[in-house]
Amino acid sequence: MRESRLSMITNRPETSDPVDFSFLFLSNMKDLQEVQPRESVHVKKRSDGKYNTASIRLSNNIFVELTGFSTAMEFIINNAFNALQSVDLSFNEIHKIDASFEQFPNIRSLYLHGNQINSLNEVKKLRSLTKLKRLTLHGNPIDNLPNYRLFILYILPTLQTFDFSGVSGDDHLLYCQMLNTTRNP
């Protein structure tokens, strides 16, 4: 039986049509209130100006920081704090992960690859996202740090996919072995 569109949006946000603000040279979240997203057959603007969607694409812009992210999402997406499940901020110039992500407890997919995040401590800000299943961070300076993948999987144990690669039991086993080695030299 074919899955209903509403079920797809609720259960598999990456398959729902996003509000698409990619490739618009946006530099801050306030810019989102002044431009129109790319047109979509399935995502329509409501009479109040908001969109019924679980997904937003903000990739390939020039964001350096995410100040005002929650305000912008509330302005764009109907019931944003509950509805938002997938955020694509890949290929920007972001240095820090904004703490406001914790206001969106239903985020399942977060794409941050191709940015400028250089501290693993930034990733710790995502710990409150207990439904987070998919995360990308490759192409950031942190992906050159030793044991990068194992550290991320340790602090975000709910991940099923990291950097577009499945998370296996072997990943968790490797982390445990590394932890034991560092504790018992």
* pLDDT (tens digit per residue) in 111-163: 999 999 999 999 999 999 999 999 999 999 999 998 899 899 989 989 999 99
Q: 1: pLDDT confidence band, cut at 50, 70 and 90?
A: very low
Tally of domains within the chain: 1
Judge whether residue 179 has pLDDT over 90.
no
pLDDT of residue 44: 82
pLDDT of residue 169: 75
**What is the domain extent for residue 13?**
5-183
Residue 27 contacts residue 36 (beta carbons within 8 Å): no
Q: What is the mean pLDDT of residues 31-40?
A: 92
β-sheet with 109-111: strand ranges across: 19-20, 55-57, 86-88, 109-111, 134-136, 161-162, 165-166
Judge whether residue 2 has pLDDT over 80.
no
Percent of the chain with pLDDT over 70: 85
In a 13 Å sphere around the CA of 121, the CA atoms on its Cβ side amount to 1
pLDDT of residue 180: 65
Judge whether residue 185 has pLDDT over 50.
no
Q: Could you report the per-residue pLDDT of 143-152, keeping only the tens digit for each? A: 999 889 989 9
- Which tokens sit at 41? 């057959």
Amino acid at 151: F
Residues 6+ apart with CB under 8 A from 180: none
Q: What is the CATH number of the domain that holds 17?
A: 3.80.10.10
Average pLDDT value over all residues in the chain: 89
d(CA 169, CA 128): 22
Q: What is the mean pLDDT of residues 37-43?
A: 88
Give residue 8's Cα distance to chain centre.
18
Residue 67 contacts residue 28 (beta carbons within 8 Å): yes
